[in-house]
Amino acid sequence: MAPASPLRLRLDTQALAANWRALDRLSGPARAGAAVKADAYGLGAALAVPVLAKAGCRDWFVAHWGEVADVLAYVPAAAIAVLHGPLDQADVAYARATGVRPVLNSLPQVARWLAGGGGPCHVMVDTGINRLGLALADLGDPLVGQLEIDLCLSHLASADEDCAQNAQQLARFAEVRARVPAQRYSLANSAGIALGAAFHADLTRPGIALYGGVVRRELAGVVQQVARPEAAVLQVRDLEAGDAVGYNATFVAPRAMRLAVVALGYADGYLRCWSNRGALACGDAVLPVVGRVSMDLTAIDVSTAPHVREGDWLALEYDLPHAAQQSGLSQYELLTLFHRRFARCT
């Protein structure tokens, strides 16, 4: 077997389960599902899905058909929704063979599904984000009336802000509910849950908040950190005042320093925006990034942690709201950037 990776992503399964339960409670009479697309937002579906299922989750959302297998190993097929819908008859055949539910986003997809034999499905209706979904004008098409719709859903564009668009989309969704007969209805994402009961419908679809993202102030103190990335020290070296570090000498030692080089770089999702800005930690010691982040390596000032040696593990400072503020990246990017070189573990 290959040796262990010098990068690991620790998944706090207790925090993950607690986040789902908290979001389910905030959803009131509605049930909370889980968006587990993009390999559970980069954390690993093989780890996240069983934890969420044990916590009580029963509805699952992926984006691509290729993501189904990672979830299907742990939950019933009919509980899995593929958000991008069927692009061709091969997708239709796969959905019908497995029992996975397609989310139909356009009249051509509706026609494709019916031509392939139809059956239970979900339908996305656009209420203002102008991304995927049937237009309101499409709802009177006779083909839509032939569908066996389990879940009718829409997606909020600006739920993380206090703005008029939220009320506008809510009003349009009320029109959708009046015109589209379905077993269940769903509008709220993570931020939408925090907007209140009017947005909850029958099923909420949290994503980022499950994994530690705080996308509205109401979720602060409710959502716990889940992802804790760590990197191994490859080398420790001593610098003298005036020594330059990394590509283009963007950092020059102002004094004698102790430096650790870790197996972490932009190929792993730790982007150049962290250069001379990020930090790792060893216990209570905060260890700043010095110099430019390169493809596979990052230099850390460990002068305040003289006990650090080769092979030791350092933790990235990666509380999502704080890390987003520091880096300029969104909380979504911070999670989904994690490369497969990170070993996922609990």
pLDDT in tens, 133-151: 999 999 999 999 999 999 9
If you average pLDDT over residues 42-59, what whole number do you get? 97
Per the prediction, the chain carries an average pLDDT of: 97
CATH number, domain 13-213: 3.20.20.10
Q: Record the tokens describing residue 269, joined without a space.
A: 């999702």
The domain locations on the chain are: 13-213, 227-318
Residue 56: pLDDT above 90? yes
3-state DSSP assignment of residue 78: helix
Q: Which CATH class is domain 227-318?
A: mainly beta
Assign 341 a pLDDT band (cuts: 50, 70, 90).
very high
Contacts of 73 (CB under 8 A, 6+ apart): 46
pLDDT tens readout for residues 243-302 = 999 999 999 999 999 999 999 999 999 999 999 999 999 999 999 999 999 999 999 999
- Are the folds of 13-213 and 227-318 the same? no
pLDDT tens readout for residues 99-114 = 999 999 999 999 999 9
Residue 210: pLDDT above 90? yes
Residue 2: pLDDT above 90? no
Position 216 scores a pLDDT of 97
Q: Is 37 a catalytic residue?
A: yes
Count Cβ atoms within 10 A of the Cβ of residue 264 and give its class: 0-12 exposed, 13-18 middle, 19 or more buried: buried
- Parallel, antiparallel, or unpaired for β 298-301 and 148-153? unpaired
Q: Where are the alpha helices (DSSP H) in the chain?
A: 13-26, 37-41, 45-55, 68-72, 89-98, 107-115, 142-145, 164-179, 190-194, 320-327, 331-336
Percent of the chain with pLDDT over 70: 100
Assign 318 a pLDDT band (cuts: 50, 70, 90).
very high
Assign 204 a pLDDT band (cuts: 50, 70, 90).
very high
pLDDT tens readout for residues 152-198 = 999 999 999 999 999 999 999 999 999 999 999 999 999 999 999 99
Position 307 scores a pLDDT of 96
Residue from 54, 247, 270, 332 carrying the catalytic annotation: 247
Q: How far is CA 279 from CA 113, 158, 224, in A?
A: 50, 31, 20
Residue from 37, 185, 318, 332 carrying the catalytic annotation: 37
The residue with tokens 């950037």 is 337
Give the burial string for 53-82 (b: 16+ CB within 10 Å, else e).
Answer: bebebebbbbbebebbebbbebbeeebbbb
